[in-house]
Amino acid sequence: MKRACVIGWPVQHSRSPLIHRYWLKLHGLEGAYEKEAVPPAEIDAFLRSLGERGYVGANVTLPHKEAAFAAADQADKAATAMGAANTLWLDAEGRLQASNTDAYGFITHLNQQAPDWNRDRRPVVVLGAGGAARAILRGLLDGGASNIVLSNRSRDRAEALAEILGGRVAVVPWEDRDKALAGCGLLVNATSLGMTGKPPLDLCLAALPADAIVADIVYSPLVTSLLEAARARGNPTVDGLGMLLHQAVPGFERWFGLRPEVTPELRAYVAANLAEA
Ligand code: NDP
């Protein structure tokens, strides 16, 4: 029986088992997907012994994505661009392979929910400069965005990210984030603000065009205060759950040999679990 897992510290909150076990059951596959809580001091040894532990591969979540990239024998273009991996598998020779599917997950969901997001090439405003923001900026650039405005509380982090991305991203100070919304076609919250247990995102939407799309990558709660405010003024919205579901697809295919689909039924199943939390 093929076994995969999600590795994190902590890992209890991870919804990945819910998603992969749903697909295993749906397709009648013999397989298992487990949670592995691995402290930072033990991550290298754990990854080196993944095969001995009976795993064909793994997802990797905070804080181990950079360590997973560093431990891999080979990394694909997406993981190399990010310097971080969220999907690992052992190839036929037993070498540890790494990918990063976060950018893919974000852009696939955005293209499905709002296929016209880049039609008139208006600026895209991204808030946040952490690991998730980096994936989102990659996804947006790969998806054709030509004009991205980035704002983050710690400006140096935003500047560093803009530099890595090669000058196609303009940084505006965090204090000016409200003004930056004027004329934009897509706003993405890639900070952790709005997440359960964190303060809400302090943002005034007055300058945001009425038809601009508002996306939030926070998925707990599913409807954040940002998405609520956007809906109240009639802006189309895209929530964070789709990214989570789509980023899981390539890993499942690698480990279990079948490309699963993100269906409304899977979405409802995971959303119900989020609502219980
Ligand atoms: P990081 O810790 O790497 O980054 C956090 C970001 O939030 C930084 O930009 C940080 O700014 C900002 N931030 C945190 N607190 C504040 C505050 N009080 N005021 C202003 N800015 C703040 O986290 P990640 O990038 O990994 O994750 C961010 C969010 O994205 C999380 O909520 C996570 O759950 C979600 N996520 C969703 C995914 C999905 O599939 N939908 C996938 C991955 C993540 P600063 O740099 O100044 O500290």
Please give the structure tokens belonging to residue 13: 């909150």
Q: Cα(169)–Cα(127) distance, rounded to whole angstroms?
A: 12
SS (H, E, C) 147-180: CEEEECCCHHHHHHHHHHCCCCEEECCHHHHHHH
Residue 5 CA to residue 14 CA, distance in Å, equals 11
Helix (H) or strand (E) holding 104: helix 102-113
Mean pLDDT over each residue of the chain, to the nearest integer:
96
Please tell me the predicted confidence (pLDDT) of residue 277: 76
Q: Does residue 132 line the site of ligand 1, with CB under 6 A?
A: yes
State the pLDDT at residue 228.
97
Q: Please name the CATH architecture into which domain 2-101+248-276 falls.
A: 3-Layer(aba) Sandwich (3.40)
Tens of pLDDT, residues 195-249: 999 999 999 999 999 999 999 999 999 999 999 999 999 999 999 999 999 999 9
Beta bridge partners of 37: 8
Predicted TM-score (pTM) of the model is 0.96
Torsion of CA 222, 268, 86, 172, to 10 degrees: -30
Q: What does the pLDDT look like over 56-71, one tens digit per residue? A: 999 999 999 999 999 9
pLDDT of residue 114: 96
Q: Which residue, among 253, 261, 205, has the nearest Cα to 233 in the 3D structure? A: 205
Kindly calculate the radius of gyration of the chain based on its CA atoms and give it in whole angstroms: 19
The pLDDT tens digits of the residues spanning 36-53 come to 999 999 999 999 999 999
Specify the pLDDT at position 204: 98
Enumerate the β-bridge partners of residue 4: 33, 57
- Summarize the confidence of residues 104-120 as an average pLDDT: 95
- pLDDT confidence of residue 174: 98
Decide whether any atom of ligand 1 lies within 6 Å of the 157 Cβ.
Answer: yes
Which residues does 108 contact at the CB level (< 8 Å), separation at least 6?
A: 242, 246
Q: Which residue lies with its CA nearest to atom 21 of ligand 1?
A: 153
- Averaged over 12-41, what is the pLDDT? 97
- The residue type found at 271 is A
Distance from the CA of 193 to the center of ligand 1, in angstroms? 7
Ligand 1, residues 138, 191, 201, 243: which to mutate, most atoms within 8 A of Cβ?
Answer: 191
Residue 23 is predicted with a pLDDT of 98
50 and 88 in contact (C-beta within 8 Å)? yes
Whether residue 196 has its Cβ less than 6 Å from ligand 1: no
Q: How many CB atoms lie within 10 A of CB 133?
A: 22
As a dihedral over the C-alpha atoms of residue 129, residue 67, residue 218, residue 20, rounded to 10 degrees, the angle is 150
What sign does the dihedral 59-63-64-69 (CA atoms) show?
Answer: positive
CA-nearest of 38, 28, 42, 35 to 12 is 35
Residue 191 in this model has a pLDDT that exceeds 90: yes
More confident call, 45 vs 276:
45
The pLDDT value given to residue 165: 87
Question: How high is the pLDDT of residue 171?
Answer: 97
The pLDDT value given to residue 146: 87
Using alpha carbons, list the distances in angstroms from residue 232 to 102, 197, 205, 223.
Answer: 29, 23, 11, 12
The DSSP symbol for 49 reads T
Which residues are catalytic, by number?
A: 65
Domains 2-101+248-276 and 103-241 share a fold: yes
- Residue owning tokens 């204090």: 175
pLDDT band at 167 (very low <50, low <70, confident <90, very high): confident
Per-domain residue ranges of the chain: 2-101+248-276, 103-241
Strand residue runs (E) in 77-123: 87-90, 96-99
Q: What angle do CA 203, 206, 208 make, to 5 degrees?
A: 90
Query: Tell me, what's the pLDDT at 236?
Result: 97
Query: Was domain 103-241 assigned CATH 3.40.50.720?
Result: yes
Ligand 1, atom 16, residue with closest C-alpha:
193
